[in-house]
């Protein structure tokens, strides 16, 4: 059961989303007169709620870009990842972040970034699993997340989808599943919030390192993409400082705990 204070925060988040959706009409205030709706999920440190405000590395980066382009700050819609993933493919005026870029996704979207490099790991609940055990293990992940693509490439079949990382991590904590697929920065945030899990969760292996981007609907004009990308390049030094602030680095060396140099996941685990 969630504590009363936590329910209060969730209720506040829901109210803010309803408020953003009430009476909001796409305004002609954005670059090249092409209006955009921005979607994200709660996944620290990329995007999360602090003091009833949406913040995080990707959120702060986007706000810097808006300032650089003299764009009046529009709402950011907080939705489950799978819902945002469907929306950004359907609506030609949408952007979803932060999305890991892959060969499979390359032509489905237009890309601005990278915002940062995400390092994806497989984590167990105090179990050291060999390849034989992994073949029959169950894996928790976020629906339509890049980790699904990565695990399918390894031949993994027993995938258990969740709406968000909080739900997926709760399944690992309760041992309803054997393995959690999560980014290193996401795992670091869990350890920061719940230090008792530092000795409880064990990194099995590293799935991959992938750049995370702002993913635009593929019908957004190239002129808009170019302006956003140019702004990112002009802001490179500020964005680098944000990565330092949020302890997100291009290598795993920036991450504490025992997952500094985990072995790569074997293609035989499925």
pLDDT digits (tens, 9 = 90+) for 84-117: 999 999 999 999 999 999 999 999 999 999 999 9
Q: CA angle, 248 as apex, 147 and 257 as ends, to 5°?
A: 80
Which three-class secondary structure state does DSSP give residue 234?
helix
What is the pTM for the complete model shown? 0.84
Summarize pLDDT for 15-69 with one digit per residue, the tens.
Answer: 344 323 323 434 444 555 799 999 999 999 999 999 999 999 999 999 999 999 9
User: Is residue 177 within 8 Å of 160, Cβ to Cβ?
Assistant: yes
Provide mean pLDDT across the span 217-237. 98
Query: Which CATH number, 3.10.180.10, 3.30.230.10, 3.40.190.10, 3.40.50.1970, labels domain 4-117+212-251?
Result: 3.40.190.10
Q: How many angstroms separate the Cα of 46 from the Cα of each of 73, 177, 194, 211?
A: 18, 25, 18, 13
Domain residue limits, the chain: 4-117+212-251, 118-209+253-259
DSSP H helices, the chain, are 4-21, 57-68, 81-90, 131-135, 146-153, 165-173, 184-193, 222-234, 236-245
- CA–CA separation, 169 and 172 (whole Å): 5
Query: Which CATH number, 3.40.190.10, 3.30.70.270, 3.40.50.720, 3.40.640.10, labels domain 118-209+253-259?
Result: 3.40.190.10
- CA–CA separation, 155 and 135 (whole Å): 9
- CA–CA separation, 146 and 98 (whole Å): 11
User: Is residue 41 within 8 Å of 80, Cβ to Cβ?
Assistant: yes
State residue 143's pLDDT score: 94
């Amino acid at each position: 059961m969630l504590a009363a204070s936590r329910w209060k925060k969730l209720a506040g988040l829901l109210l803010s989303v309803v408020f953003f959706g009430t009476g909001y009409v796409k305004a002609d205030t954005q670059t090249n007169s092409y209006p955009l709706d921005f979607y994200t999920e709660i996944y620290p440190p990329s995007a999360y709620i602090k003091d009833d405000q949406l913040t995080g590395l990707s959120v702060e980066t986007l706000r810097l870009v808006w300032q650089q382009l003299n764009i009046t700050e529009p709402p950011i819609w907080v939705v489950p990842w799978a819902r945002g993933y469907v929306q950004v493919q359907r609506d030609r005026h949408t952007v979803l972040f932060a999305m890991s870029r892959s060969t499979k996704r390359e032509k489905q979207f237009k890309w601005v970034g990278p915002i940062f490099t995400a390092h994806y790991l497989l984590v167990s609940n105090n179990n050291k699993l060999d390849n034989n055990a992994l073949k029959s293990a169950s894996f928790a992940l976020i629906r339509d997340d890049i980790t699904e693509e990565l695990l399918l490439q390894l031949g993994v079949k027993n995938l258990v989808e969740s709406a968000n990382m909080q739900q997926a991590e709760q399944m690992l904590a309760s041992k309803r599943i054997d393995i959690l697929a999560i980014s290193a920065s996401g795992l670091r945030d869990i350890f920061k919030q719940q230090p008792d899990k530092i000795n409880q969760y064990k990194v099995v292996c590293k799935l991959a390192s992938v750049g995370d981007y702002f993913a635009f609907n593929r019908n957004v004009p190239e002129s808009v993409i170019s302006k956003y990308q140019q702004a990112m390049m002009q802001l490179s030094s500020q964005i680098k400082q944000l990565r330092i602030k949020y302890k997100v680095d291009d290598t795993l060396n920036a991450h504490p705990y025992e997952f500094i140099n985990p072995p790569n996941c074997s293609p035989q685990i499925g």
